[in-house]
Chains A and B, each alone.
Chain A
Amino acid sequence: MRPLHLRPFGSCLVVLALLVAACTTAEDSRPAPRATQVTAPEDAIGEQLMLALSQAKNFHHKAKVYMSDGKPELAIAAVKDVLAVAFPPGAPEADDVRADARAMLAKLLLARGEADAAMSEIDAGLAAATRESFFVANLYTVRGEILEAQAATLDGATAPADATRARELRRQAIVAFDKSIAINSALQQKLMERR
């Protein structure tokens, strides 16, 4: 074959080689596709949980400011807002934070003399509880305090029924405190065993 006819085909091969080399380099620069996908478990701490905790924290701080400012009704409203915070579905922290908010709310209502409303918050908190926790134990503690306070209001009464009622309230208070102690003891024991 004459040299003149080799040159076009040589040029053709060079162009093809450059094209393939450029494409191969572009392919290599891309991240290799993964054959496996590692996912985080559903109980991993995520943005939604952190956002919910942050909101609850801010509402509690807001309530404290209102209390310091002598505005208990606004403090109660702020604590009620904690109950409306949207937590991730199934997050255990949601039960704990709401139970603690109920206990706080009951304390605020009791301080204003609204013992029945306070007891309603405690009952709601205990009804919503899905497991025993220090927060549930705290609800029983506050329940005992409410019962104790209610009994104290009957101390000055002269009617026998009121005296009987006062004794019953104190008995229920003791039951509530005992329940709280029992929960705390069991949880404490569990934590000690885990450690």
Chain B
Amino acid sequence: MRPDEPTPPDLDDDDLDVPEPDAVADASERARAKAFAELIDKVVSGRPPAAVPSEAQALLETATALRATMRPVELGAARRASIVEAALATAIDRRGGRIGASVSGSLPAVVPITAAPRRRAARAPWIVAAVTTLVAAAAVTLWLRDRSDRGGPAPTTTAVAPLPIEQTSRPADDVVGRIPRERAGAALDRIDAIYADRLNGYRERTMAGGTR
């Protein structure tokens, strides 16, 4: 206790006369209340007195508990970041099968910067798999493109398909037959007959899938 701090009032139980609930507070009661309020202010502001009377200790703990329930404790930014980093590291270690290997229940022991190598180690298999997949895909693509460029084996055998006589270009004697003298100038009828005959042969050949 610092020398300038006021001495807490004597709160001996013997001196405490419990007043009636509806009784008006007298001077001594007000003085005790004021002294207890100052004591609580010091505790809350982080300047607790070195010694607290036993009867005031119980009241002080009760008041502190009440205050804690009314106002949640807020952590500092550094402390908060440290706890979050520790929780993440624990989660990563659990996924990697290293539960409890390096992170214990002691949160202050967690140093955030050590989590980075672990994250890199966890990503390594994915990176290796991705690179391997890309290389394999490129190899397969090049192989298939090389095959398609070659377009398969070139025709090695050329065969002449025999055609029915009707589908060939040939003398038209069998179409027109002997030309009588009186029909010597009937060239129009003969060319019509020749054309019709050859058209039939041409259609037969093309509709059978032959080369045009």
Complex contacts, A88 vs chain B, CB 8 Å: 169
What's the nearest-Cβ distance from chain A to residue B12, in Å? 66
Of the residues B170, B184, B188, contact of A61 by C-beta under 8 Å: B188
Q: Please count how many residues in chain B sit with their CB below 8 Å of the partner chain's CB atoms.
A: 60
Which residues in window 27-65 of A have CB below 8 A to B?
27, 32-41, 43-47, 49-50, 53-54, 56-57, 60-61, 63-64
> Is A19 positioned at the interface, with any CB of B under 8 Å from its CB?
yes
Q: Which residue of A lies closest to B127 (CB)?
A: A8
What's the nearest-Cβ distance from chain B to residue A8, in Å? 3
> Is A147 positioned at the interface, with any CB of B under 8 Å from its CB?
no
Which residues in window 1-40 of A have CB below 8 A to B?
2, 4-5, 7-9, 11-12, 15-16, 19-20, 23, 27, 32-40
What's the nearest-Cβ distance from chain A to residue B160, in Å? 5
Complex contacts, B125 vs chain A, CB 8 Å: 4-5, 7-9
Bound Cα distance A79, B210 (Å): 34
Interface residues of chain A, those whose CB is within 8 Å of chain B, are: 2, 4-5, 7-9, 11-12, 15-16, 19-20, 23, 27, 32-41, 43-47, 49-50, 53-54, 56-57, 60-61, 63-64, 79, 88, 91-93, 95-97, 100-101, 103-104, 107-108, 131, 133-135, 137-138, 141-142, 145, 184, 187-188, 191, 194
